[in-house]
Chains A and B, each alone.
Chain A
Amino acid sequence: MIKDRGMDEEKFTQLFAPFRAITPSQETLGRVLETVTISRVRRFSIWTFAGIMVPVAVFVLLVWQGNRPLNPTREILAMEEESSQIEQELILLDSNLDNIDI
Chain B
Amino acid sequence: MDRNISDLVSSAKAGDKQAFGELYREYFAPIYRFVLFKTKHKETAEDITQTAFARALGAMSNYRDKGVPFLSWLYTIARNLCLDHFKKKSDVVPADPDIWWAEVEGNLPADKFSQAKETSEALWRAMEALSDEQREVVVLRFIEEKSYAEIAQILKKNEEALRALNYRAMKVLKDELGIMNYEL
Contact = CB atoms under 8 A, between A and B. Distances in A.
B103 A25 contact: yes
Interface stretch (B20-28, B62-70, B79-87): B20-28
B36 interface: yes
Given A9-B142, A32-B28, A33-B21, A18 B50 contact: no
B107 interface: yes
Task: Give the size category of A's interface with B.
Answer: 20 to 34
A67 interface: no
A28 B46 contact: yes
B57 A40 contact: yes
B33 interface: yes
Given A20-B143, A43-B58, A32 B103 contact: no
Contacts of A9: 141-142, 166, 170
A48 B24 CA distance: 26
Contacts, number: 89
Taking chain B's interface residues, is the majority helix, strand, or loop, or is none over half, making it mixed? helix
Contacts of A29: 25, 28
Contacts of A17: 116
A18 B116 contact: yes
B6 interface: no
A15 B107 contact: no
Interface in A1-49: 2, 4, 8-9, 11-13, 15-25, 28-29, 32-33, 35-37, 39-40, 43
B32 A23 contact: yes
A50 B121 CA distance: 52
A29 B27 CA distance: 11
Taking chain A's interface residues, is the majority helix, strand, or loop, or is none over half, making it mixed? helix
B11 interface: no
Given A22-B33, A22-B100, 6 more contacts: A22-B29, A22-B32, A32-B50, A32-B53, A36-B54, A40-B58
A101 B116 CA distance: 124
Contact of B54 (A13, A20, A39): A39
Contact of A24 (B29, B117, B147): B29
B50 A35 contact: yes
Contacts of A20: 33, 143-144
Given A13-B145, A19-B143, A24-B32, A32 B46 contact: yes
Contacts of B61: none
